[in-house]
Structure 1
Amino acid sequence: MINNTLSSYSNLDAIDIKQRTIRELESTLTASPSLPFSNSSPQAWLVLAAAVFLVSVPVFIEAPLVRSQPSLCLAMTGFWVFFSFNLMSRPKTYIWGDLLFGFSWSWLAGAIYWGWLRWEPLWHLPVESLGLPFAFWCLARNWGKVGNWFYLGSLLGTALTDVYFYLVGLMPYWRQIMRVEPDAAVGVLQNALIKVDTPWGAAWAVILALVLLTIGILPLGRNQRHWYAFSGAVLSTIFVDSLFLLAAVLA
């Protein structure tokens, strides 16, 4: 009788453990960045908004900070990686850790370039591409899709912006503005605007903006979180570049 009772309790414990395991697995799968979801899901737009914000961070926060504290910015990469893995350790925050992990590549590249190599624009894209092999390696193993696609979208936006600088002949002004004092930068910006405010400069601005809009909007129909992260990173390039142009005009 006692043996039968103990056996029954043991079976109940085994069933309870199995049920908890199933619930945890279902929770993890629900948080997985690869699963499709409804376009009306608030999280879809949160991923998009977070991607836009994270593209803006290196431009408007890291770039000014790294001029005076390059070593600190470089060391902060370790913090972003640690924080991202901490978030990924929990199903409910996995997607945000994934996104932050991809952001850490952009931060690392920004710390290196804007800290020590900003005077030479030809080094910009190669340095920004430092995380590219690792991103492809992760995607080949279907790991970190949200963060790695965010990084690829950010890199694509950077590449097209640099292409515009090459085509319009703005590279000499880039070199000048990185070497002159802030008071003299206004004159350099005004000279650069003369290049932009031409039929050639305006035409290429429209062409590349349309390319970015197309590449950024089309993936939104695929209904997966990593594509929203990619689109947010690409579309934010237009926003960031427009703000730079506005700042140059006002200067």
Structure 2
Amino acid sequence: MLNKTLFPTEPYTNVIEAVVPADSALPLVAPSPKASWHLSSPWPIFLGAVFLVSVPVLFQASLVRWQPELSLALTAAWLGLALWLCQREHTRLWGDLLVGFTWTWFAGSIYWGWMRWEPLWHLPIEAIALPLAVICLMRRQAVVGSWFYLGSLFGTVVTDLYFYLCDVIPAWRQVMSASPDELHPIFQGALARVSTPWGFALGMALVGILIFVGYMPLHLQRHYTWAFGGAVLSTLLVDGLFLIAAIAA
């Protein structure tokens, strides 16, 4: 059931051709189980997804504060590299994955570069490429990248939901405009809110959701399911790193 619904394997044809042309550089899913799409272990794609969610965000977090225009311009470089990799049989899976990463980088550059002071805009901006991901999935193009993007977006939704339910959004706004010397009391106040029984119980529940949603697709030996699972599970790593940073501040 999971393989036929959440991760469709048959192409859809009711999408406007002009949106994603049939001759697009984005790779199509090979229809045969014997095709190269299914041959190798999905572990490299899983680890690649974890890396792309957890490591570049540390670099981008600093870049967007000082050079948001450069961060946004790098989107074109990432996309160019992704399409170049997609043109080659031996690297097209990595190019496909990088397409999804390009969407997350683009959204992150816009929000964290110019709109980070308003948390209400976070999810709408992070979801800016959602229509494109859906279209690509319907066309069976950039499937690995699309599911990677959806996994990353799902993790963002869960994290933001926790912030809203624990009422730490005011601290978010304060952190974005505070000087380094002012961060400590803000972080301490936010930690006090999440250290309550409600904050702990909610955190455990959402961690359980992330583990379940991230782990279940790994039962399917497909690169795109492992890209999705890796992106979801790596949310725990990223959130854990930021929690440690808040405690140490």
Normalising by the smaller structure, the TM-score range is 0.7 to 0.9
Q: What's the counterpart of residue 133 of structure 1?
A: 131
Verify the 8 A CA contact 1:58 1:110 in the aligned structure 2: no
Identity %: 51
Match of 2:205 among 184, 191, 207: 207
Counterpart residue identity of residue 246, structure 2: A
User: In structure 2, what is the equivalent of residue 78 of structure 1?
Assistant: 76
Residue pair 2:54, 2:237 contacting (<8 A) in 1 also: no
Kindly indicate whether the alpha-carbon contact (under 8 Å) linking 1:88 and 1:94 is maintained by their aligned counterparts in 2.
yes
Contact 1:54 1:103 in 2 (8 A): yes
Correspondent of 2:118 among 117, 120, 132: 120
Which segments of 5 or more consecutive residues in structure 2 lack a partner in the other structure? 1-29
Superposed CA offset, 1:172-198 (max 9, x none): 000000001011111110110000100
State the 1:245 CA deviation: 1.0
Aligned 1:219-230 pairs, distance under 5 A: 219-230=217-228
Aligned residue-pair number: 218
Which residue matches 1:22? none
CA contact (8 A) 1:212 1:234 kept: yes
Instruction: Report the counterpart of residue 191 of structure 2 in structure 1.
Output: 193
Residue of structure 1 in register with 2:165 after alignment: 167
Q: Is the 8 A contact 2:155 2:235 kept in 1?
A: yes
**Aligned partner letter, 2:159:** T
Aligned equivalents of 1:88 and 1:130: distance in 2? 23
2:36 matched to 1:31?
yes
CA drift of 1:31 comes to 3.2
- Counterpart-to-counterpart distance in 2, 1:223 and 1:176: 44
Gaps of 5+ in 1: 1-24
Partner of 2:23: none
CA RMSD of aligned residues (A): 1.5
Q: Which residue type is aligned with residue 105 of structure 1?
A: W
Quote the residue 1:246 is aligned against.
244
Q: Which structure shows the higher helix fraction?
A: 1
Work out the CA distance in 1 between the residues paired with 2:54 and 2:112: 15
Which of these residues, 107, 110, 122, is aligned with residue 108 of structure 2?
110
Q: Secondary structure at the match of 1:91?
A: coil
